[in-house]
Amino acid sequence: MEHSFSFLTFLAVSLSFILLLSWILKLGTRSEVTLIKPLNLPLGPWELPLIGSIHHLIGSLPHHRLRELAQKYGPLMHLKLGEVSTIVVSSPEVAKEVLKTHDAIFAQRPHLIGADIMCYGSTDISTAPYGGYWKQLKKICSQELLSPKRVHSFQSIREEKVSNLMRYIATKNGSCVNLSDKVACMTSAITARAAFGKKCKDQEEFISLVKKLVKLSKGLIVLDFFPSQKWLHLISGVKPRLEKLHRKFDIIFENIIREAVQKPGEVEVEALLNVLLNIKDHEALECPLTINNIKAVILDLFAAGGDTTSAVIEWAISEMVKNPRVMIKAQEEVREAFGSKGYTNETTLQELKFLRAVIKETLRLHPPFPLLLPRECLETCEVEGYTIPAGTRVIVNAWAIGRDPNYWDEAEKFYPERFMDCAIDYKGLNMEFIPFGGGRRMCPGILFAISSIELCLAQLLYYYNWELPNGTMENLEMTEASGSSSRRKKDLILVPISYNPF
């Protein structure tokens, strides 16, 4: 929690001082008191002045602590996080109310400082306000950018980048490999080629800036709970650093777009940037796309897609190393399917039912965004008999829902067999399993991510056996890092042992 709440003590002291000052000022004023009928809000923990319920989240990761609180106050819980009235959803039943029954009412995104600065006024697909512009972006994503046909067109890119990773690992046979770092580089390279079509001179710097953005965004959580306290934005130093980072991104974007327009060249696959530029210039849109809108969409793909894709691969390998029975079973399936060909490709991945079950089980225990992305209530409504006022922020604890013992036998156990011959999927229809969200605002890039995850895992399992550097399972670190996305706290370091199919 060192990034998310690193200045929380300072914050509490500062806000307490402001509270005292406000109280002193109020001593000299009198105002008419208006009695307001209390709202029928869901139950929640006790609050402190100004910081509300934030102190209840200290000492643990937010999704862990929120599950503990929900066990006491219920699956629909109210918290005052700073200035922000918030409800937390922690069960499939309540998730259905929010993501299905009242989906349109809860389709709004709250104003977030980081998205506003980095994504050109929140004009990306993930954080854009609900309305005509967002609906248009969603249509462009589903029909053009991230359609099955488009994702399939990137097959050669995925195969090339995954093969490069396998060749690198081959040079480290019997030695330690930082799998976290190398998988992250691979997924970033796939996203970059898909986005830009060819390697640009600024590509490496762009990827480096994305990593800085992901790291810096961890400090934004608390700031977003105090939207009116502008002094906090400055004194924390996060906002100035974001603005500086944004300027660097913008310079690179301008260079890449200029090159794409002036020297389109011949490429195997039409890049996402070119698709967006063509739509901007040649299609009659209700909400015309600007160059800044295109920058926001591309950055969203990098920040949300590459980081979370590599995290799922990391967790899958981590869980299989921790559970050798599962690792052996997955390797046997992959090696039997591909035989002695020495080559795995996407065409035959459909045969790997157990590997797909491994991926689903990984997503159940380690959803890419444990608390999904926050939503906001557009109009006052009723959920589970409680009144939810317009403007209330909504957090869905997908991590807690995926571990709900009322729906999952041995919920904390990594057991992929639970998904064999099972209709439950991650496409937002089964509320007990929503690693990518649900409803109108669910992740549009599922297929793009899963395609890379499946291919990479299949080849890691086919070509190599994996051992811990010290050979002792007790030293396998499975702690999560702080932040909005699910990452390992420590890099996954393993020893690859080449597999000989002959």
Residues in binding site: 443
Q: H/E/C letters for each residue in 116-165?
A: HHHCCCCCCCCCCCCCHHHHHHHHHHHHHHCCHHHHHHCHHHHHHHHHHH
pLDDT of the residue at 436: 96
Q: What value does the mean pLDDT take over residues 367-378?
A: 95
Query: How far is it, in rounded angstroms, from Cα 58 to Cα 463?
Result: 43
- Percentage of the chain beyond pLDDT 70 is 89
Query: How far is it, in rounded angstroms, from Cα 430 to Cα 448?
Result: 21
Query: How far is it, in rounded angstroms, from Cα 308 to Cα 398?
Result: 15
Closest CA to 300 of 129, 128, 174, 418: 128
Q: What value does the mean pLDDT take over residues 66-77?
A: 97
Task: Give yes or no for a contact between 352 and 337, defined as CB atoms under 8 angstroms apart.
Answer: yes
**Position 341 pLDDT exceeds 80:** no
What is the pTM assigned to this prediction? 0.91
List the beta bridge partners of residue 79.
86
pLDDT of the residue at 27: 43
Query: How far is it, in rounded angstroms, from Cα 137 to Cα 135?
Result: 5
Task: Give yes or no for a contact between 3 and 483, defined as CB atoms under 8 angstroms apart.
Answer: yes
| Sign of the CA dihedral with 242 first, then 245, 251, and 256 last | negative
Q: For the beta carbon of residue 255, count every other beta carbon within 10 angstroms.
A: 14
Q: What value does the mean pLDDT take over residues 140-153?
A: 94
pLDDT of the residue at 215: 75
Task: Give yes or no for a contact between 450 and 326, defined as CB atoms under 8 angstroms apart.
Answer: no
**Position 120 pLDDT exceeds 60:** yes
List the beta bridge partners of residue 382.
387
- In which band, very low, low, confident or very high, does the pLDDT at 37 lie, cut at 50, 70 and 90? very low
Residues in binding site for heme: 443
**Count of helix runs (H) and strand runs (E) in the chain:** 19, 9
pLDDT of the residue at 91: 98
- In which band, very low, low, confident or very high, does the pLDDT at 220 lie, cut at 50, 70 and 90? low
Alpha helices, DSSP H, located in 341-498: 353-365, 398-401, 446-463
The residue whose two tokens read 């090339």 is 160
